[in-house]
Amino acid sequence: MSRGQAAEVKSRTTKSRLLPAPGKPKPADVGAGLVTGLFSIPEGMAYASIAGFNPVAGLYAGIVPAIVGSLTARTVLMVTTLTSAIALTSQNVLRQAGLDPRNTGHLATLTLLAGLVMLLMGVLRLGAVMSFVSHAVMTGFSTGIALQIVTGVLKDATGYRPHGHNRLYQVGDWLAHIGRWQLAATLVAIATVVVWALARKVRRLEPVALLVAMIVVGAAVAALGTHVELVRDIAHIPAALPGFSAPDLSVVPQVLGGAVAVALVALAQAASIGSSVPNPDGSRSSVNGDFAAQGLANLAGGLFQALPSGGSLSRTGVAVSAGARTRWAGILSGVLLALVVLVCAPLAERVPMPVIGGLILVVGGELIWGKRHDILLVLRTSPLSSAAMVLTFLATTQLPLQQAIVLGAVLSLLLYCAQAARQSRFLALTRDPKGHWHLSDPPDRLPPGDVTVLYYAGTSFFAELPRIEQALPRADDAHGAVLILVVRGAPDVPSSTMAKVIRRHARELDRQGGRLILAGVSPGLARILRMTGVDRDLGPGGIVPAEGAVFEPLDRALADARSWAAARSGRTPDGTAGHRTPPGPPT
């Protein structure tokens, strides 16, 4: 390959890394886009209606945000649109601010601010924050969101709306009142699931099984004249594209904090899509890229009457189940939805709500079923991880989602600290006659006139200090003993607790006629030790900087310790190795 060709390939690779090109749509993308677009009519309107918004705003959230989000997202198959969690969070924000959820100016302001927060988080590369949310917490959160999707359509599927703010209680209430289910709606929902299952048995129909179920059962309901709720019973669908909506800047102070909460809910939902739905073209997803894409989608959608939007688990699941292969599926879902609204609005109004309810039950059930391996993995990992997963799941089903996210983040932090503290410890380093270092348990007490080397194995050097300090060898009768602590893994900016532990142990050894040496000290840690005065407690040569080869600081500390111990005991350095550090060639 010539240098020019290599440069061209590198340029193309760089561009694709920044934003994968849409390429050409595949036939399956057209069907997937149509299915997803049709789903956006009743589902978007239902979510908006449940949250007290104008149902048409939920419909419009499937047009501009879906197109812009799919054009710019790094997760190719992710569909950006309204979700039940975002709708409910937005309702809570506007209600607490005392604003009208049906006011287009207020809605545009909230959507634009949420989009700006998402875009800034993407540009500032804050997607890494999601990496600190543990797998256990994300599993509990995703499963709770999937349950919310299911409970959100129980009324559509059976005609009975369960009561209670707790999602688990709603499921129980729904099952307890099975006698109040509407027979016609329930049979239509069951027929929808059956037709979907049969269509999946046919290889050619499997990618479009959802669309087949929607068309077949919808046509049967119309032909038989079955009396069930239709889309038009929720709201009238205007045969027009969304118009421009100007934001009301006077309410920015009232909704700014709430916009951050809406953005976090949306981003937390979308964060798991990249790992759950890998890109068919083999390209890598990017959380930061997805954050920015959702921000752009909301900035565009907010100007055209759309509710706040984010990566939708249910709509992405619909697209994937319908055979989506490229980002064109999401783009076409918005384009085809706009065409359906313009041309077939009266026909779209006749889609039976139990059909949508049945299909959303299928999608939600598949999402929950798809998490079974992750749930089992967490349960088998540790009781602490299992508790974090269960608590996050319960919080997602019982608390406002912005509070559930904060709780999940706190649980992740506590889980990390607890695991780090449990894993951190001191290990004794002993060297055999051939000069090879071996790990062993620390001795109970420091041998007098001997050199003991301990290596710190851990990550935080804070939460674990009260526990591992007890594992340090006792300094009773440690005359002439030297303890070398290898702290190469310690942080540059230690806690005050760490400084107190080092000072306390250095003074204790000094009272017993011994000495403490720190080996492998980073420049940042050395600076902090000098600023806190700990270096004076260690004395000259008590801090050996992390310079040279990996074991070079330890070799220098060991040579200094042997000379010091020999001077105290009256022996030569060559004869003072003792049983903890037998002589051998330098490493």
**pLDDT tens track for 358-416:** 888 887 888 788 888 989 998 998 888 888 889 889 988 888 766 777 787 788 777 77
In the predicted model, what is the mean pLDDT of residues 294-312? 95
pLDDT value at position 463? Answer: 57
pLDDT value at position 437? Answer: 82
Enumerate residues 6+ apart whose C-beta is below 8 A from 356.
39, 42, 43, 46, 153, 156, 214, 231
Report whether pLDDT(581) > 60. Answer: no
Distances (CA, A) of 227 to 184, 218, 355, 424: 7, 12, 13, 66
Alpha-helical runs (H) found in 134-206: 135-151, 154-158, 167-176, 183-201
**Which structure tokens are listed for 278?**
């890998």
Q: List beta partners, residue 455.
A: 427, 486
Can you state the angle between helices 372-381 and 135-151, rounded to 10 degrees? 140
Q: Specify whether the CB–CB gap between 113 and 252 falls below 8 A.
A: yes
Pairing verdict, β 543-545 and 515-521: parallel
pLDDT value at position 489? Answer: 67
**Residue tagged 């806690």 (tokens):** 495
pLDDT value at position 109? Answer: 96
Buried b (16+ CB within 10 A) or exposed e, 284-303: ebbbbbbbbbbbbbbbbbbb
Q: Any idea which of 66-75, 243-252, 493-502 has the lowest mean pLDDT?
A: 493-502
Distance between first and last Cα of the chain: 45
**pLDDT tens track for 415-460:** 777 776 666 778 888 888 887 888 888 888 888 888 899 987 766 5
DSSP 22: -
Report whether pLDDT(290) > 50. Answer: yes
In the predicted model, what is the mean pLDDT of residues 513-529? 87
Enumerate residues 6+ apart whose C-beta is below 8 A from 178.
none
Give the residue, 492 or 353, on which the prediction is more confident.
353
Share of the chain above pLDDT 70, in %: 88
**pLDDT tens track for 164-214:** 878 888 999 999 999 999 999 999 999 999 999 999 888 878 767 777 888
Which of the residue ranges 138-147, 204-213, 533-542 has the most confident prediction, judged by mean pLDDT?
533-542
Q: Any idea which of 218-222, 246-250, 494-498 has the lowest mean pLDDT?
A: 494-498
pLDDT value at position 327? Answer: 93
As a whole number of angstroms, the distance between CA 303 and CA 145 comes to 28
As a whole number of angstroms, the distance between CA 20 and CA 277 comes to 16
Distances (CA, A) of 81 to 229, 258, 294, 401: 24, 19, 9, 17
As a whole number of angstroms, the distance between CA 151 and CA 293 comes to 29
User: For 427, what's the count of Cα atoms within 13 Å in the CB-facing half-sphere?
Assistant: 13
pLDDT value at position 460? Answer: 53
DSSP string, 272-309: THHHHS--TT-PPP-HHHHHHHHHHHHHHHGGGTPPP-
Q: Which amino acid is at 127?
A: G
**Which structure tokens are listed for 420?**
């780090």
Enumerate residues 6+ apart whose C-beta is below 8 A from 156.
42, 46, 185, 189, 229, 353, 354, 356, 357, 360
Assign 45 a pLDDT band (cuts: 50, 70, 90).
Answer: confident
Q: List beta partners, residue 377.
A: none
Assign 286 a pLDDT band (cuts: 50, 70, 90).
Answer: confident
Average pLDDT, the chain: 83
pLDDT value at position 7? Answer: 45
**pLDDT tens track for 71-89:** 999 999 999 999 877 988 8
